[in-house]
């Protein structure tokens, strides 16, 4: 009878872990969760955005996936959700363990466990941090050469980077070259400069992706001749202008940041009822598409630019120098060797020839 009343082994284990972990926790950092306000949080988020870098590496494996139209978006959403939950839990646990002004910037969790006398946990966290850094190195060595290969294959950069090794079937030249470049940058710059540089570069890249989503969807609508999206867009524009006009009188006493946040939130609330489709059936194949276009990509673009503004001046200078190098390479080489540009040029020439054959009649 007593045996039947015993809880399952799983429940016993959970209960034991709960008592050992939470029963020994003394949340000393419960106060002052926002000591520097919203601006301080946004400034920190702009710098710490590099923590989310890596999920875009999934997109570089499109040629190696069996069903990239479906598996890559699902894998991206899943990885982002898992990462976000883990970071929130880690941040909450750290702020409960140690006051914000006592957090060690070099080894936050290891130092926090050491302060609490948990030596074993400190060792485990240190090993985990080393494993995480090794994982980032492997991810960079996997993703960057494939992105460079795609650019070289299109003719945007030197074709030498697009050479595939006959044995490994990988872009070996790009892997070696950019591994050396990354190593030199790691030796020349300190950690803070690298983090800021990586954050602003990633934010700029994600902003371009958001902009490209809007442009590509717009081009598709023009090609299909669909006007439903335009009707929704005109309606959303009218509603947005009317909401903004009426809201100006009520937000005069608000701060500039609060006004911006309110405007963004209002537009999102207006956008949600109009765009609800996430899946699209193209030729019997279920494809994942971006919902709420153009409002969701534009919202992402605004947030990215907003966070970029909070980065320091030297980070912007490094970004412009790097962009100048890229523009010079494109003007000197890519603009003359781009396969996509040649394809568009041939299409225009073919269209002109067809018009001439028809005697100038375009119908």
Residue 318 or residue 258, greater confidence: 318
Please return the burial class of 68, using the count of CB atoms within 10 Å of its CB with bins 0-12, 13-18 and 19+.
middle
Angle between helices 172-188 and 119-154 (to 10 degrees): 130
- The number of residues in the chain equals 363
Strand, helix or coil at 282?
strand
Q: What is the mean pLDDT of the chain?
A: 72
Average pLDDT for 211-230: 66
For residue 251, give the H/E element and its range: none
Instruction: Specify the pLDDT at position 353.
Output: 62
Please return the burial class of 147, using the count of CB atoms within 10 Å of its CB with bins 0-12, 13-18 and 19+.
middle
Whether residue 77 is predicted with pLDDT greater than 70 in this model: the reply is: yes
Percent of the chain with pLDDT over 70: 65
Residue 361 or residue 68, greater confidence: 68
* φ, ψ for residue 286, nearest 5 deg: -80, 120
Rounded (to 5) percent helix, strand, coil in the chain: 75, 0, 25
Going by the DSSP 8-state scheme, the letter that residue 275 receives in this structure is -
Residue 187 or residue 46, greater confidence: 187
Average pLDDT for 184-200: 84
Q: Where do we find the tokens 């009878």? A: 1
- Give the residue from 204, 202, 208 showing the smallest Cα distance to 51: 202
Whether residue 203 is predicted with pLDDT greater than 80 in this model: the reply is: yes
Instruction: Specify the pLDDT at position 272.
Output: 44
Instruction: Specify the pLDDT at position 325.
Output: 92
Average pLDDT for 275-280: 42
**Contacts for 318 with CB less than 8 Å, ≥ 6 apart:** 193, 197
**Contacts for 113 with CB less than 8 Å, ≥ 6 apart:** 97, 119, 121, 122, 125
* Side-chain half-sphere exposure of 78, counting CA atoms within 13 A: 7
Residues 94-151 have pLDDT tens digits of: 888 888 788 888 788 888 888 888 888 888 888 888 888 887 778 778 878 888 888 8
Whether residue 264 is predicted with pLDDT greater than 70 in this model: the reply is: no
Whether residue 225 is predicted with pLDDT greater than 80 in this model: the reply is: no
Residues 305-340 have pLDDT tens digits of: 888 888 888 989 989 998 999 899 989 988 888 887
42 close to 310: Cβ distance less than 8 angstroms: yes
45 close to 193: Cβ distance less than 8 angstroms: no
Give the domain ranges of the chain. Answer: 312-363
Among 40-49, 59-68, 290-299, the range scoring the smallest mean pLDDT is 59-68
Average pLDDT for 283-311: 77
- Give the residue from 315, 316, 277 showing the smallest Cα distance to 293: 277
Instruction: Specify the pLDDT at position 327.
Output: 92
Strand, helix or coil at 252?
coil
């Amino acid at each position: 009878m007593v045996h039947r009343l015993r809880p399952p082994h799983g429940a016993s284990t959970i209960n034991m872990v709960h008592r050992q972990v939470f029963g020994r926790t003394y949340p000393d950092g419960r106060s002052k969760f926002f000591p520097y306000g919203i601006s301080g949080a946004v400034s920190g988020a702009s710098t710490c955005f590099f923590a989310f870098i890596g999920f875009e590496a999934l997109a570089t494996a499109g040629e190696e996936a069996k069903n990239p139209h479906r598996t890559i978006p699902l894998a991206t959403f899943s990885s982002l959700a898992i990462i976000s939950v883990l970071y929130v839990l880690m941040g909450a646990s750290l702020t409960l363990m140690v006051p914000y002004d006592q957090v060690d910037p070099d080894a936050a969790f290891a130092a926090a466990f050491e302060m609490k006398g948990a030596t074993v946990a400190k060792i485990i966290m240190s090993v985990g941090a080393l494993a995480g850094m090794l994982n980032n190195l492997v991810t960079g060595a996997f993703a960057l050469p494939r992105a460079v290969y795609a650019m070289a294959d299109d003719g945007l950069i030197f074709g030498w980077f697009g050479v595939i090794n006959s044995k490994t079937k990988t872009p070996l030249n790009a892997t070696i070259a950019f591994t050396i470049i990354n190593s030199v940058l790691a030796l020349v710059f300190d950690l803070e400069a690298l983090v800021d540089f990586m954050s602003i570069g990633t934010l700029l890249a994600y902003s371009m992706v958001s902009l490209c989503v809007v442009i590509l969807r717009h081009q598709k609508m023009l090609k299909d001749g669909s006007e439903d999206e335009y009707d929704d867009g005109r309606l959303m524009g009218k509603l947005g202008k009317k909401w903004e006009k009426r809201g100006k009188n009520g937000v005069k006493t608000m701060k500039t940041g609060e006004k911006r946040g309110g405007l963004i939130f209002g537009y999102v609330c207006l956008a949600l009822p109009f765009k609800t489709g996430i899946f699209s059936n193209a030729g019997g194949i279920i494809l994942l598409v971006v919902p709420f276009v153009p409002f969701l990509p534009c919202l992402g673009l605004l947030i990215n630019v907003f966070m970029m503004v909070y980065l320091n001046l030297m980070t912007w200078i490094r970004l412009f120098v790097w962009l100048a190098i890229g523009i010079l390479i494109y003007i000197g080489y890519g603009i003359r060797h781009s396969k996509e540009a040649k394809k568009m040029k041939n299409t225009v020439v073919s269209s002109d020839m067809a018009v001439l054959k028809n005697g100038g009649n375009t119908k």
